[in-house]
Amino acid sequence: MGRLNVDLCGIELDNPVIPSSGTFGYGHEFAKIYDINCLGTFSFKGTTKEERFGNPTPRVAESPSGCVNAVGLQNPGVDKVINEELPKLKECFHKPVIANVSGFSLDEYVYVCERLDKEDQVGWLEVNISCPNVHGGGMSFGTDPKAAALVTKAVKGVTTKPVIMKLSPNVTDITEIAKACEDSGADGVSLINTIMAMRIDIKSRRPVLGNVTGGLSGKAVFPVALRMVYQTAKAVKIPVVGLGGVSSAEDVIEMMMAGASAVQVGAANLIDPFVCKNIIEDLPELMDRLGIKNIKDIIGAAL
**Catalytic residue at 9?**
no
Long-range contacts from 89-94, C-beta under 8 angstroms, 24+ separation: 89/26, 89/27, 89/28, 89/44, 89/121, 90/121, 91/28, 92/27, 92/28, 92/31, 92/36, 93/27, 93/28, 93/31, 93/36, 93/37, 93/42, 93/121, 94/37
The one catalytic residue in 9, 67, 131, 276 is: 131
Would you say 53 and 74 are in contact if contact means Cβ atoms under 8 Å apart? yes
For residues 303 and 301, give the distance between their C-alpha atoms in angstroms, rounded to a whole number.
Answer: 6
CA 125 vs. chain centroid, Å, equals 11
Nearest to 168 by CA among 203, 118, 135, 133: 133
For residues 259 and 145, give the distance between their C-alpha atoms in angstroms, rounded to a whole number.
Answer: 22
* 3 state SS of 264: strand
Catalytic machinery residues: 131
